[in-house]
Amino acid sequence: MSAHLARHSGVRDVITTDPAVGWDTLTRMPAKARLYRCETYFREAMADLDAVLGAETAPVLYRSALVIIKADGLIAGKQRTIHDFLLRHDLCPVAARQIRFTRMLAREFWRYQLTLASLDRLAVNDWVLTAGPALLLLLRTDGEHDLPASVRLSGLKGSANQSEQRPDSLRYLLGQPSRLVNFFHCADEPADIVRELGMLFDRQTRYALFGALAAGQLSRADAEVLDAALDDAATPCILDAAEAVRRLAAALAACDQDRLDPAVRADLRTGLEGMRAQQTIAWRPFEAALLASGAELDPWDIAMAGSSFAVNDVDGGSKVLVNADPESWRRPIPSDELPRRAS
């Protein structure tokens, strides 16, 4: 246990459902406050943040942001473009940690957004998110801005839907190939920074990361992690849906399909024909047939095909939580809309 953690052990043994700093410094979304105040990830991390920073919690969170360069962003060599964009907008890394999404972690991480997702999209997400490591960056701004750093970055990132992206947004600059292969994630509000760190790291690591936010500078170890990731950007992999489908077809043609069940062969043929015609397909039967084929397949080809041709959303579905509106932080919020602090 670190000396810092040992020094603060027991400071807040009783975790209340409401943060000492007040919900209006964490979110402008009443629904988010109601959900997070009961969630273990947020509650644990909020207690740790209060123990480490005390009265400085609110000002430090105001100046903080969080970005995860996902596996697709790293394999495509987008990390330097993302890093340079952040620096141009006065968002400087103070911590860099490698993380890895699992099937369960991905579902928990986006729990309140995946209520809209089709089962096909959930299956594709597993390929996109778990194909390799991701890089988490904690960021701090030292300039004077009229929005919290996380909220400002949420406005700068741009929509995941390509048709809605502004030319000056980060997503547009990265040239994402599909809605699901979008290279990075960022926390939308201060409350999301807390929740996501609570989900990704144990208590000792959280103490170190909160200390880094307060100090405002990279440790030598974290600088090495960041430098290594930026160096890897020199040899990017091109993620292209048409090429992925071509390679999948070639790999399938090279294997002995006569031994396959006729239904499997039919699912492979139907899926390939649909994708070549630029149509959405029933992804899960095609995925199951791919895995049953025994062909030597590149996971990124499967990810690109699925992200480009699977049906993403459930008809009539909705997210439990939508993205925060940065403009809501420019308006006062009625005191009765957010939960009150525990007395």
User: DSSP of 217-270, one letter per residue?
Assistant: S--HHHHHHHHHHHHHTTSPPP--HHHHHHHHHHHHHHS-GGGS-HHHHHHHHH
Instruction: Tell me if 118 is assigned to some domain.
Output: yes
Instruction: Tell me if 332 is assigned to some domain.
Output: no
pLDDT of residue 341: 54
Residue 115 · residue 319 · CB < 8 Å: yes
Do residues 165 and 279 both lie within one domain? Answer: no
Do residues 84 and 124 both lie within one domain? Answer: yes
Do residues 40 and 164 both lie within one domain? Answer: yes
Distance CA 218, CA 82 (A): 17
Q: In the chain, which residues have pLDDT < 70?
A: 1-17, 334-336, 340-343
How many domains in the chain? 2
Distance CA 287, CA 332 (A): 49
pLDDT of residue 326: 87
Do residues 41 and 105 both lie within one domain? Answer: yes
Do residues 119 and 169 both lie within one domain? Answer: yes
Instruction: Tell me if 43 is assigned to some domain.
Output: yes
Among residues 237, 271, 287, which one ends one of the domains?
237
Among residues 195, 220, 237, which one ends one of the domains?
237
Instruction: Tell me if 333 is assigned to some domain.
Output: no
Q: Secondary structure of 47-72 in the HEC alphabet?
A: HHHHHHHHHHHHHHHHCEEEEEECHH
Residue 133 · residue 74 · CB < 8 Å: yes
pLDDT of residue 14: 42
Do residues 195 and 227 both lie within one domain? Answer: yes
Do residues 260 and 146 both lie within one domain? Answer: no
Do residues 267 and 123 both lie within one domain? Answer: no
Distance CA 202, CA 64 (A): 20
- Please write the tens of the pLDDT for every residue from 186-226: 999 999 999 999 999 999 999 999 999 999 999 999 999 99
Beta bridge pairs of residue 313: 117
Do residues 81 and 161 both lie within one domain? Answer: yes
Instruction: Tell me if 323 is assigned to some domain.
Output: no
**Which range of residues forms the domain containing residue 304?**
241-309
Among residues 182, 208, 237, which one ends one of the domains?
237
Distance CA 77, CA 60 (A): 31
Do residues 268 and 217 both lie within one domain? Answer: no
* Longest Cα–Cα distance in the chain: 71
Helix (H) or strand (E) holding 35: helix 30-36
Neighbours of 237 (CB within 10 A): 12
CATH code for position 73: 3.30.70.141
Instruction: Tell me if 255 is assigned to some domain.
Output: yes
Do residues 49 and 94 both lie within one domain? Answer: yes
Do residues 31 and 65 both lie within one domain? Answer: yes
Tokens of 307: 């992200």
